[in-house]
Amino acid sequence: MIHDDILTRRLKLRLLPQEALEATEAGNIAIAARLLDLRLPPDWADISPLTRRRLVQLPGCPQYRPWSVRAIALRRTNEAVGYVNFHELPQWHELAQKDACAELGYTIFEAHRRQGYVEEAVRALMAWARERGARHFIFSISPGNTPSQGLARKFGARRIGVQIDEEDGPEDVYLLS
């Protein structure tokens, strides 16, 4: 099976095909693992609400497909340690000089945190997006998520405001230009 991976020194960011999104959303983690050719931990079931949102989103915007959910997997062991995705295609944003701006989200499963995986994955994903026209990035982070706020600042993002997410509640909004 051919995969559309983004590779880093330690990681592969594997795009979830439609069938893997559907299997994950349905809770069929073994099927998703086979389709992805990855070892998926029990934590993988936690992303089903995200895969449900992406499955609703994709029919109306098929060009969004490569920007959708990617498993973050260790190249050495083929084990998924988290996931990353863009919320939608890059688009105009008034705070980004009316330039292409992409909002991204990520999670590293608890057993794999504090090992630099999210920084490595986000750097690679942003480089991939820049090659496709994105010029600015938005990070929407829970006010209590100090590690993610620190990561956004490490990338050079600055806090530009607050928003209320209908699912996650209040979020601090960071812009990286």
Give the end-to-end CA distance of the chain in Å, rounded to a whole number: 37
Residue 177 confidence (pLDDT): 85
pLDDT above 90 (res 11): yes
User: Tell me: the pLDDT tens digits for 116-165?
Assistant: 999 999 999 999 999 998 989 999 999 999 999 999 999 999 999 898 88
Is 131 within 8 Å of 99 (Cβ atoms)?
no
* Distance of alpha carbon 69 from the chain centroid: 6
User: Tell me: the pLDDT tens digits for 72-122?
Assistant: 999 999 999 999 999 988 876 555 556 688 999 999 999 999 999 999 999
SS3 132: coil
Which region among 8-22, 107-121, 161-175 has the lowest average model confidence (pLDDT)? 161-175
Dihedral Cα 123, 146, 64, 175, nearest 10 deg? -80
CATH number of the domain that residue 85 is part of: 3.40.630.30
Residue 165 confidence (pLDDT): 81
* Distance of alpha carbon 32 from the chain centroid: 17
Is 174 within 8 Å of 149 (Cβ atoms)?
yes
Is 93 within 8 Å of 99 (Cβ atoms)?
yes
Domain that includes residue 122, residue range:
5-176
In total, how many domains does the chain have? 1
User: Tell me: the pLDDT tens digits for 44-68?
Assistant: 999 999 999 999 999 999 899 999 9
